Amino acid sequence: MNDIEQMARLEALLFVAGDPLTYEEIAAYLSLGTEEAASLVEQLKRRYQRDPMSGLVVRRIEGAASIATKPALSDTIEAFFGKVRDLKLTDAAYETLAVIAYNAPATRAEIEAVRGVNSDSIVNRLIERGLVREVGTLETPGRPALLNVTETFLMDFGLSSTKELPPVDLMMYDTITEFTEERQSAAHTAAVPKPLVIAIDGPSGAGKSTISRLLSEHLGILTLDTGAMYRALGVKALRQGISPADPEAVRAMLAETTMDIDLTDRVQKTLVDGLDYTPYIRTPEASRAASDISALPVTREYCVRLQREIGKKQALILDGRDIGTYVFPDAPVKFFITASPEIRARRRLSDLEKAGNPSTLEDVMREMAARDLQDSGRELAPAKRAEDAVLIDTSEMSVREVVDVMIDVIRQREALQPGWGRGAHGQQ
């Protein structure tokens, strides 16, 4: 078979698979070697990139590939899913609806525990189609959203209430009964083993904070933005007229500084000496000050001690630069999130505009390049990828796609090491 035919076969295969296929699987289906399969995937990826008339992209992650729609077309896709309400539901969607109806109110993690697979995209589609809605949050760390079926669902299925649903043992899911019992005894909290620490490192503008927030909602665990800590200390130094790059002055300042991180409301509050600095830390001056002050050993010691203390108390997602390499080198799951400099600068520019601090793309790119160089070039805890971190380039991915990929990685790790999420992780 020639390359052109193989390429067509690969495209057809990825199209019907929907979920990522590993290079080994592709190689087996196409009777190729694994390296040839990887090279074919690369060619298909480039073909889509070159073709402005294509609405598709190839996603590659950890030795697997899938076909997805271009993030720039999300408006069209959302319009389609929003409008075409009478589309037939897939078996997976029916299954998810049943899990929610029988267990309502249920969290995403509980739905996943019953189905055994990540069901976020299906749940989102059911929400878009008006069959499921959020009805509140669970009062546990991370406050995951609680989901229930809607009146549209009841009407579509000819029910006046979910109490009219047939008894559970008529259903095909043996696990629902078991699951419900377990859920009652565990008071809603222990459905899924949670990873103790998830490290998310990468340069600014790569999308770490948005991704961490969504991941936190999905997994029901808290997230700590470590950059905010360096930013707040940088702002305090500026306010006191201290140079954030002056080690002695910063040492004296830190000796008189109390930092508290309030994560109770999901949205992080970074308090310095009792004052919430959150509103003041996203300016270009704060970014520069953070980059300077974070290069000082005394500041790193101060912040890392606090980060480890918080991470020891509860399951936690931390986003930063050195989480996987230094703060929690034994974290069971590590990601390094990046994107092209231009895309990162565009994202930062849009954040600045939203915060009422408009700038220009050129200025933001220049600032970012200088900060990247300083953050990754420094001797102490340089921003770099841990060897065992999964690298994700988010340039051409939507946030939802990135999060889905990360959840898959987390679940794969969990399957390899059952129970690792609950044990101590051994950092000091």
Which residues bind to ligand DC, rule: CB under 6 A? Answer: 204, 226-227, 230-231, 290-291, 294, 320-322, 371, 375
Nearest CB to ligand DC, comparing residues 103 and 291:
291
Q: Nearest distance from residue 302's CB to ligand DC, in Å? A: 12
Which residues make beta-bridge pairs with 56? Answer: 69
Nearest CB to ligand DC, comparing residues 220 and 320:
320
Half-sphere exposure of 62 (CA within 13 A, CB side): 16
Q: Omega before 105 cis (within 30°)?
A: yes
DSSP letters, 72-127, are GGHHHHHHHHHH-TTSPPPHHHHHHHHHHHHH-SB-HHHHHHHHSS--HHHHHHHH
Which residues make beta-bridge pairs with 200? Answer: 319, 335
Q: Which two tokens stand for residue 221?
A: 């665990």
Q: Nearest distance from residue 376's CB to ligand DC, in Å? A: 9
Q: Nearest distance from residue 326's CB to ligand DC, in Å? A: 8
Nearest CB to ligand DC, comparing residues 143 and 288:
288
CB 102 within 8 A of CB 168: yes
Q: Which residue has the tokens 């949050």?
A: 137
Q: Which residue has the tokens 């995403």?
A: 108
CB 316 within 8 A of CB 206: no
Q: Nearest distance from residue 290's CB to ligand DC, in Å? A: 4
CB 294 within 8 A of CB 285: no
Nearest CB to ligand DC, comparing residues 113 and 327:
327
Q: Nearest distance from residue 169's CB to ligand DC, in Å? A: 51
Nearest CB to ligand DC, comparing residues 368 and 409:
368
Task: Name every residue whose Cβ is closer than 8 Å to that of residue 51 and which is 6 or more positions away in sequence.
Answer: none
Nearest CB to ligand DC, comparing residues 182 and 285:
285
Q: Nearest distance from residue 209's CB to ligand DC, in Å? A: 7
CB 422 within 8 A of CB 327: no
